[in-house]
Structure 1
């Protein structure tokens, strides 16, 4: 693997290309936004083939496109501000976002996408605002874009304040950026900025002077790999979790159900709540991951393990939130089990517990979660505090590959080093679509080695 050093060619601030329609207004952070003030900015990006434009044409095009996109997303060009009562707001003041042009011409696409290898460290250099907590949005841009030229491709990395967006809002912004760049005259999905929701609250989150600290160390040795699961492998997992006989006839029947498989717990963009007794494909995959990582950790059977996932609440409320509500509309669902029981039972046992928790997370549960936070406002405790936890983020339903900037779909999706710790998993759609999934798995080195030797898990990996 060649050196991963990246050279910065230029930096600038990009302003919206016209005055924002909500200029000088504010959006108050909600009970779903505020806990994220101690989380790093979201860092996600797309690896693209070489564009048909030279750099002296490409970079101005991307700058113009970003300026136009910000006009549809004015909060991202603003800053955070805390009022005298302690409420945190987004001030839509058109202060702009950071844009960086970088080069790593010694890196080739094939070398950084080598299958079966750890994710190379170069991807961590393709993003701005490393190790920046979302509270820093009081004095820093709420978003930034870095465009890195490679030997035979380009990486567009987007970094956005996590107290301002969740995954749904993040990818709507990213998709719109690509849409504008490829020349579409109108955007297809306008964000919805209403704050008249159950998440809007008079509660104040007490914060220390100068802001919060990260809730996890961030300096532990880690390994990171992408595990790919084909549609066929995931359908086999689903059948196993539901204790069905696996044969060609059943697989053929199951293959006609599309990717309704992820209707359950699939990160921050869950589809419709699965109201049946059937464990979904994604819940089945999560159940297998939970078993195999826990086994690889070699912990005492009397200890408890937690599988935590964030779920989209937009469709769970009555009345429903706008699908493109801008901000965080997520809650965390923890599922707890004793290690001994999780490992002594079959896949169905653990996957069904995940499934039951997701099904139970209805409108009443969402409202109880809001009330619970209001009674004790607190930051989100991101991390693996007991050494036995797994945190699932992102979603295979996010439109990550709908980012054609004008010269083709992404070759891959990757993230930076933000919010990564032992047990942090992110779910991406597979590039081949059709229900395939990529899991970005971050583990302690010895646990990753155990997972790679776990036959029960690796038999499903492509």
Structure 2
């Protein structure tokens, strides 16, 4: 096992919203939240380079981050609370009481800032010291935890671990951007469109899915088991992380090739000309995966989540706080993926799945709770390619007054079957793709990814 750099803990404190903050005392979970009740936490890591050595990390940066986190929690009070499951309640709730707060760890790390914030090969275990653990027990779970870590005069990182049953990627990113904005200008207040909306009545649940999903979790190790302990996947040693980039040129090249091939087809349908960058990029990742795994029989499964706010009827406001994710699964024949027109097939199937979400976002929703409980029972059995994050979140805009992030990583996406997607600080890049594989596989995958553009 490799010898990793060491972490030195400087401080662990609790940051609370100002006592004047007016906040409801509890927030019930919806069925969209309950899907993720015992799913592993989501961990994001933001790397910031010091613009000069004159800014003191301990005397300026840390106090600034703490004070503005408190101010931000005025608007995001549930993040300072805890998830509990009262004995008299059918579903868990986020409970906030005076004095609650977010755990913030301050640390120093003797690792290589530029190595970890680069795109090259890095062991997944190297990132673990930089993200905090979420305080969770049988009957209580924190919502988020934060860690600020200084590297030797090169920069610092902000690691954020959040409970997926409370917030999805959109809500999480909104909080981070609000904190960054307030850190840059303390008097700033989120606009009405940015201010988190806590009104649970915007989520219609005529089928009582919340109680149905809650019952599934209670029966998992039940009966009537109201445990809030999270199901944490085992980290396999030796896994390597790398970042690949889809440039505008890559996407355009693929799109033109696909359209030219479609036009050659006698049954060409002009409506299929509209292909999203998401469909092209993920279809390409499916092709690369099929090539890496070689000529094996059967199907390749690809699943992805999408924001349900704009897809539900009536629509849910974009500033709704909580989870509002819907999902789709695409089944692809491996031998067809490896054919000359494999990317066209994959692109068509993914595009069709996206359109189906627009028409029937909640199709099959009665089974979502039981499907997720089975997944968390043994993550390693799941061999469906899936995604974490989205380039639409704009995480590289999270400037706390120290410049935009040098790099953003989704640390919790460390399965060989999970690709993480973010935007990029590079304007030539449409999206960054985080890939995790064993060492011999990651080298081969990167080669397949890069060489595929050369033959188009």
Deviations 1:188-237 (A, max 9, x none): 42111111134544524232333466374443652211112222112212
- 102 and 458 in structure 1: CA distance in 2 versus 1, 3 angstrom threshold: farther
Query: Following TM superposition, by how much is the alpha carbon of 1:72 offset from its aligned partner in structure 2, in angstroms?
Result: 0.5
Are the equivalent residues in 1 in contact too, given 2:38–2:230 (CA < 8 A)? yes
2:177 is aligned with 1:175:
yes
- C-alpha spacing 1:380/1:320, structure 2 compared with 1 (3 Å): farther
Match of 1:87 in 2: 91
Deviation digits for residues 32-53 of structure 1 (CA, Å, limit 9, x no counterpart)? 1112122222111211121653
Contact between 1:384 and 1:390, CA under 8 Å: does it hold in 2?
no
Between the aligned partners of 1:399 and 1:366, the Cα distance in structure 2 is: 24
Residue 266 (structure 2) aligns with: none
Q: CA deviation at 1:389?
A: 2.2
1:62 to 43, 65, 70: 65
Q: Secondary structure at the match of 1:233?
A: helix
Q: 1:413 aligns with which of 408, 411, 423?
A: 408
Equivalent in the alignment of 2:242: 225
Q: Is the counterpart of residue 322 in structure 1 residue 322 in structure 2?
A: no
SS of residue paired to 1:110 = helix
The range that moved more, 222-231 or 168-177, is 222-231
Match of 2:31 in 1: 31
Normalising by structure 1, report the TM-score. 0.83
Question: What SS does structure 2 have at the residue aligned with 1:53?
Answer: coil
**Equivalent residue number for residue 259 of structure 2:** 242
- The equivalent residue for 1:6 is 7
Q: Does 1:293 align with 2:289?
A: yes
**What aligned pairs does 1:371-382 form with structure 2 within 5 A after superposition?**
371-373=366-368, 379=373, 381=375
Which moved further from structure 2: 10-19 or 192-201?
192-201
Contact in 1 for aligned 2:42/2:161 (Cα 8 Å): yes
Residue aligning to 1:110: 114
Q: 1:98 to 1:385 in 2, by over 3 A?
A: closer
Aligned length: 424
Question: Structure 1 stretches of 5 or more lacking a match?
Answer: 246-274
Any conservation in 2 of the 1:29–1:90 contact (CA below 8 Å)?
yes
Deviation, 1:18, is 3.1
1:103 is displaced (CA, Å) by: 0.5
Which segment is superposed worse, 380-389 or 393-402?
Answer: 380-389
C-alpha distance in structure 1 between counterparts of 2:61 and 2:161, whole Å: 20
In structure 2, distance between residues paired with 1:42 and 1:124: 12
Partner of 2:267: none
The 5-angstrom pairing of residues 432-451 of structure 1 reads 432-433=426-427, 436-451=430-445
Contact 1:39 1:419 in 2 (8 A): no
Structure number with the higher helix fraction is 2
Quote the offset at 1:355 in angstroms.
Answer: 0.8
Provide closer, same or farther for how the CA distance between residues 139 and 388 of structure 1 changes in structure 2, counting only shifts above 3 A. closer
Aligned match for 2:423, one of 407, 421, 429:
429
Q: Equivalents in 2 of 1:239, 1:422: separation in Å?
A: 30
CA deviation map 1:308-349 (0-9, x unaligned)? 111001111222111011111002211012212222243111
**Paired residue for 2:305?**
310
Q: How far, CA to CA, are the matches of 1:183 and 1:137 in structure 2?
A: 39
Kept in 2: contact 1:293–1:447 (CA 8 A): no
Contact 1:2–1:107 (Cα < 8 Å) also in 2: no
